[in-house]
Structure 1
Amino acid sequence: MDTMRERFISVTSRLLDEDPRLAVVLAEISMDGFLPARQRHPDRVINVGIREQLLVGVGGGLALTGMRPVVHTFASFLVERPFEQVKLDFGHQGAGGVLVSASASYDWPAGGFTHMAPGDVALLDTLDGWTVHVPGHPDEAEALLRHAYAAGDDKVYVRLSQQSNTAPRPVRDLRFQTVREGRAGVVLAVGPLLDNVLAATEGLDLTVLYAPTVRPFDDAALREAAGRGGNADVVLVEPYLAGTSTTAANDALAQVPHRVLGLGVGRAELRRYGTLDEHTAAHGLDPHSLRERITGFLRPPAR
């Protein structure tokens, strides 16, 4: 199976042939994959070099000319390093575009902390009007990328990861999906952590929701799931900074008694490179750790 990043390159290269409004802006990362597309469309595949502020600025400028820019690099270099340009060149200017990241929170541990971005979604939450997609499988990534490219002049962030669920799920309406139904609480799994959540909650009387799109937050789906069994306690399992969506969940359930536990990547820096799986376990996001943390909070009865 190809990775989400490989799928991004292939589907975007095809769509460059079909949509003259689409333009890709790169900062060296993934440039090799886009070389054939650049040969066909040298004016719409632009490599600015290792200049991430310029990367976002060029994307914003293309948007102001009527193009649909696709701006791509590692998450830490796309959202964190040029955040002022994201805020001003897209948000303040009222311009739309698609930011497509790679490497997620800790996908390339050998790259060190400079290449990790667990706070990217939380940072974008300080801005208005961004749609945020967190696909859990390459097929979902393709569907969400196609949706983002066709989304008029909206501001969209697509967060790609090396981690992937075994099988894709449909993402047609961008709403949270009910994967399992239960009565003792709700667990909301985001993107590539769905498989771990399903393994962690096997045999427990819990509703499992799946979110490949986290912004806008699907208030109605969470309220419906929380009201289904009479227990409005919710655990959020997100592949980025723990607690990123707790405010959104609390707002959605403001009219009913509830508790929310936010699980995700911790704030403490892990200074050993290790492997992706070792980082997942260290942050308590592997199935065994998740089961302990979820049951410790909800204490549901076994079926």
Structure 2
Amino acid sequence: MDTMRDRFISTTSLLLDEDPRLAVVLAEISGDGFEAARRRHPDRVINVGIREQLLVGVGGGLALAGLRPVVHTFASFLVERPFEQVKLDFGHQGVGGVLVSAGASYDWPAGGFTHMAPGDVALLDTLDGWTVHVPGHPDEAEALLRDAVAGDDRVYVRLSLQSNRLPYDVTRNGAGRGNGAGAGFGLTTVREGRAGVVVAVGPLLENVLAATEGLDTTVLYAATVRPFDAAALRRAVAATDRADVVLVEPYLAGTSTAAANDALAETPHRVLGLGVARRELRRYGTLDEHVAAHGLDPAGLRGRISAFLAR
């Protein structure tokens, strides 16, 4: 199976042929993958080199000129390093664009902490008007990317090497099917239970399903985390015997706990946020070792979810 990043490159290259409004801005990362598209569209595939502030600034400028920019590099260089440009050149200027990251929280441990971005979604939470997609499968990444390119708003698509085995229908009409989410992106009900609700985000769904096997819990799946589907969470909680919610996110632990608390403001409840810890793991290791060290493998999740629901 191809990776989400592979699918991003192939899909965006095709969209460049179909949509004259589309432009891609790179900072060396994935440059080889877009070489054929650059030869076909030299005016709309722009590689600025390893200059990430310029990367985002050029994207904002293209948006002001009426184009739909897709801006791409590793998450740490796309959100954290040029954050001022994301805030001003897109948000303050009131223009839209699509930021597509690679690397996720720790996909390439050998790159060290400079290439890790567990705080990217939390950082974007400080800005207004961003849609945030966290696909769990290459098919979902393609569907969400196509939707983002066709719009005019500000969208962040967070790609990862981690992937669930099977995709879900996470499009506007498909997301949340079965829980009444309607025409927006929403939470999808994967499993129903009575002893609490576990929300799994993106590529952590399979680990959550394995961790909750045999537990009487509802499992909801989110490939879009902003805007947060508050209505679907309230409905899921109302159908259980206990208003206990566990959020399992592949980035900084607790990133969405405020959104869940706001959704349940009228209901006495408890929320546990699981994700990447703030502590820095200074040994490179492997991707799977980082997952386990942060307690996001099935065994680690099982212990923490079970202990929380038992209290």
TM-score (norm 1): 0.98
Give the structure 1 partner of residue 177 of structure 2. Answer: none
- Separation in structure 2 between the aligned mates of residue 158 and residue 181 of structure 1, nearest angstrom: 28
- Separation in structure 1 between the aligned mates of residue 157 and residue 300 of structure 2, nearest angstrom: 27
The residue identity in structure 2 corresponding to 1:132 is V
Which residue of 226, 237, 244 maps to 2:237?
Answer: 226
**1:236 partnered with 2:235:** no
Alignment of 1:1-303 (within 5 A): 1-151=1-151, 153-173=152-172, 174-299=185-310
CA RMSD of aligned residues (A): 0.7
- Separation in structure 1 between the aligned mates of residue 241 and residue 52 of structure 2, nearest angstrom: 48
The residue identity in structure 2 corresponding to 1:255 is E
- Separation in structure 1 between the aligned mates of residue 143 and residue 193 of structure 2, nearest angstrom: 29
**CA deviation digits over 1:24-72, x for unaligned, max 9?**
0000000000000000000000000000000000000000011000000
**CA deviation digits over 1:154-205, x for unaligned, max 9?**
0000000000001111112221000000000000000000000000000110
Structure 1 residue runs of 5 or longer lacking an equivalent are none
Residue 230 of structure 1 deviates from its aligned partner by 2.8
The residue identity in structure 2 corresponding to 1:60 is G
- Separation in structure 1 between the aligned mates of residue 310 and residue 226 of structure 2, nearest angstrom: 29
Residue 134 of structure 1 deviates from its aligned partner by 0.1
Residue aligned with 1:268, SS: coil
- Separation in structure 2 between the aligned mates of residue 136 and residue 299 of structure 1, nearest angstrom: 29
Residue 231 of structure 1 deviates from its aligned partner by 1.4
- Separation in structure 2 between the aligned mates of residue 288 and residue 299 of structure 1, nearest angstrom: 16
The residue identity in structure 1 corresponding to 2:200 is A
TM-score (norm 2): 0.96
Residue aligned with 2:204, SS: helix
The residue identity in structure 1 corresponding to 2:59 is G
The residue identity in structure 2 corresponding to 1:23 is A
- Separation in structure 2 between the aligned mates of residue 155 and residue 18 of structure 1, nearest angstrom: 21
Residue 229 of structure 1 deviates from its aligned partner by 1.3
Give the structure 1 partner of residue 178 of structure 2. Answer: none
- Separation in structure 1 between the aligned mates of residue 284 and residue 247 of structure 2, nearest angstrom: 26
The residue identity in structure 2 corresponding to 1:9 is I
Structure 2 residue runs of 5 or longer lacking an equivalent are 173-184
- Aligned residue pairs total 299
Residue 253 of structure 1 deviates from its aligned partner by 0.3
- Separation in structure 2 between the aligned mates of residue 275 and residue 115 of structure 1, nearest angstrom: 14
- Separation in structure 2 between the aligned mates of residue 81 and residue 222 of structure 1, nearest angstrom: 33
Residue aligned with 2:278, SS: coil
The residue identity in structure 2 corresponding to 1:169 is Y
